[in-house]
Amino acid sequence: MGLGLLHFDGRVIDDDGRPLLESDDGEELMHVEPGIVVALGSRPMESPGTLYVTSRRVIWLSDADKGKGYAVDFLSLSLHTVSRDLETYPFPCIYTQVFDP
């Protein structure tokens, strides 16, 4: 598993479309949150998708584009906070900084 923000398209081949985890290394699914929008830097927001929190990383998979997704290992998250400042962003969000070597 690499550091930084990684493109992720590993989906389990079944009806739920959940991410393929590294179960050989003990990775477990801890939480699923549907209807999550991702905004990377100044780029436009992605269409809604599902956020998966595992025992090792955070994975976001697009609902509209089944080939699009991102994953961040917890060791790459250098800062995260809940932001409710509507002058900074148009609605409450989780702000993160990702360490990318």
93 or 72: whose pLDDT is higher? 72
Residue 1, pLDDT score: 52
Give pTM, 2 decimals: 0.83
User: Which tokens hold the place of 70?
Assistant: 């991102």
Q: Which carries the bigger pLDDT value, residue 51 or residue 20?
A: 51
> What digits encode the pLDDT tens for the residues 6-48?
888 777 755 677 888 888 889 999 999 999 999 887 788 888 9
Q: Which helix (H) or strand (E) holds 34?
A: strand 29-36
> How much is the pLDDT for 2?
61
Secondary-structure percent of the chain, ordered helix, strand, coil, rounded to 5: 5, 45, 50
